[in-house]
Chains A and B, each alone.
Chain A
Amino acid sequence: MEPHRPETPHTPPPSLWPVGFAVGVAVLLLGLIVGWGIVLLGALLTVGFGFLWVRDVVEGTPTAPAAPEPPPPQGIGAAPVPARQAEAALPAMDEEEIHRYPRNVFLEGATLGLGALIGGIVTVPALGFAVLPAFVDQEPQGSDLGPLENFPEGEWRVATFLEDPEHGEVSRRTAFVRHNGDLNGVPSFTIISNRCAHLGCPTQPQGSLNEEDSEEIEVEHGTVTLIPTNPSGFTCPCHGGAYSIEGNRTAGPPVRALDRYEFSIRDGHLWIGKAYSVGEVEGEGKDARIKKYHRFYPGEHVDGIQQILYPFPAPNL
């Protein structure tokens, strides 16, 4: 290359074609308001000047730019580039090149350290947000199942209710509720969750379901549905689990008995409380002796040898 810059022989001389092109576009836009004839005129001007401009640009520039590397671009349709050449698209870096500068430990360390800092700043909150539950320390306040009179002694009701009224319909759950009569002067209830202890499918009462006599009760937060039923056990439609009337596993894959709910009586209403897991139930009704555990997810053993696989219950269940 020459040492002094010549009078820019490569750039095209100033041309009026772009001006003509712009005028064409302006006329075309004007035509959109005025009338179709003007549009046509504008279009002709635009295309004509555009063509002249493009021709000027193309002819005024060498097709082979002064790139330092072969091959000069030839446009599509030319012979294929040999494999090696394209693979060497990135300049090869040999060891010598890397070591021409002395290694600066401080700069390397600082670069990597700052990079890690950025990574940490970005990742930790994202991960924390993803891993940590959206709602921490929000114990469900319990849920009103309605007046005690709706639960005649010795009878079962399929009750659906909002487990966490703040969350709305998505927290609707179902439990099988039986009034066991009084125990030490307070009414006793058996409240069994209908979520299968295998993988959480909805179990069904094994026996007649009296849907004609179902009642809808309006409580403070939402509707509670009560369907009278007369089950002899509960079965799961997914993988064939079966439970006795007290929720003990009788057959199939469930790893424990059906979960149960705590309950309380407030102002003559039955309130459902926290759910808990059950290893096994001995006895029946109000005399039942329940092996009670912290609530675990379905499929997790709470007793037996396999409980060592699940040392921690869910952090916020």
Chain B
Amino acid sequence: MARRPPSLLRRIVNYPLDWIEERSGLIGGVRYFLFRKVPHDTNWAHTLGSATLTAFIVQALTGAILAMYYRPDPGTAYESIQKITNELTLGWLVRGMHRWGASVFIILMFLHMGRVFLYGAYKYPRELNWVIGVLLLVLGLFEGLTGYLLPYDQTGYWATVVAININGTAPILGPFLVNLLNGGADFGPETLSRFYALHMLLVPGAIFALIGLHLYLVIRLGVSSPPWSDRPAGDAMPLPPPSRDGARAGLVRPGARRRVRS
């Protein structure tokens, strides 16, 4: 061996990593994730996705803490929220972060979607990831809806009554949907705990799974360059001339492409 053996410190650090790598291949996966190439011209707009993920993680953590003190029962839910907010040490911060984190999460989901739309980043081969993203948006809004009821105050209660009844107007299935959401014919003693279970078990589980899939596809398919970049990644292949349909509709000037590279 011509190379000097690595220092002791380095080997002490590497040993557990190698141990894990040998038995799982996880370190290689993390290395691939960290050192994979992304287009040279990614910018701040590309951070909206990870920012959304951060907001979701904040929700998951603060939500888990709130769940330790919250009581999903119509008789005591409101009092437990009052106690969390006004009596527990830093309870106000946890609840405030969860409450406002929800708004931030939803705003970031919309901004992230707007970025993907503007960049045309939903096009081949990323169609499936767009669909997953839309499902995540719907589930995120559903989290907002189910969470709004949990303080069991007037706003939450009545917004939920209306939301459940909106489902009731679905043709044929409506009454059954209402029964499913209420856990009975009408808003009753089971409804709050049902919304609680949806809000903190079923829907977040689905969101976690879909985020995993979403990230897997992002890593596998790569990130799109900004379309107006000087030289976007993958620019070697010229675009076809603007379609005649577009030209006929007067929407695209024929032959007005900016650059053709070979």
Interface Cβ pair total, 8 Å cutoff: 149
Chain A: interface size category: 35 or more
Which of chain B's residues has its CB closest to A62's CB? Answer: B18
Q: How far is the CA of A225 from the CA of B171 in the complex (A)?
A: 37
B36 contacts A by Cβ under 8 Å: yes
Q: Is the CB of A73 within 8 A of B21?
A: yes
Say how far B246's CB is from chain A's closest CB, in angstroms: 35
With both beta carbons as reference points, the residue of chain A lying nearest to B173 in the complex is identified as: A312
Q: Which residue of B lies closest to A297 (CB)?
A: B168
- Chain A, range 266-317, C-beta contacts under 8 Å to B: 296-300, 309-317
Whether A63 pairs with B6 at a CB distance below 8 angstroms is yes
Q: Which of B152-195 contact A (CB under 8 A)?
A: 158, 161-162, 164-166, 168-169, 171-172, 174-176, 178-180, 182-191
Residues on the A chain within 8 Å of B22, using CB: 65, 67, 73
User: SS class of chain A's interface: helix, strand, loop or mixed?
Assistant: loop
| Residue numbers in A under 8 Å from B8 (CB-CB) | 55, 58
Whether, in the assembled complex, A167 has its beta carbon less than 8 Å from a beta carbon of chain B, the answer is yes
Residues of chain B with a CB closer than 8 A to A74's CB: 14
Bound Cα distance from A78 to B187, whole angstroms = 59
Return the CB mask of B4-25 against A: 1 if under 8 Å, else 0.
0010101111110110011001
- Are A86 and B29 closer than 8 Å at their CB atoms? yes
B175 touches A312 (CB 8 A): yes
Contacts of B188 in A (CB 8 A): 134-135, 164, 167, 170-171
How many chain B residues touch the partner (CB < 8 A)?
51
Q: Are B190 and A134 in contact (CB under 8 A)?
A: yes
Q: B203: shortest Cβ distance to chain A, in Å?
A: 14
B17 touches A73 (CB 8 A): yes
A169 touches B165 (CB 8 A): no
Contact B15–A58 (Cβ < 8 Å): yes
Q: Quick check: A131 and B179 within 8 Å, CB to CB?
A: yes
Which A residues touch B191, using CB under 8 A?
A: 170
B35's partner among A58, A65, A80 (CB-CB below 8 A) is A80
**Contact call B184/A134, Cβ cutoff below 8 A:** yes
Query: Which 3 A-B residue pairings sit nearest by Cβ, starting from the closest?
Result: A80-B35, A75-B14, A297-B168
Apart from A76-B17, A80-B34, A133-B184, list 7 A-B contacts with CB within 8 A. A55-B8, A63-B18, A81-B32, A83-B37, A199-B166, A201-B161, A311-B172
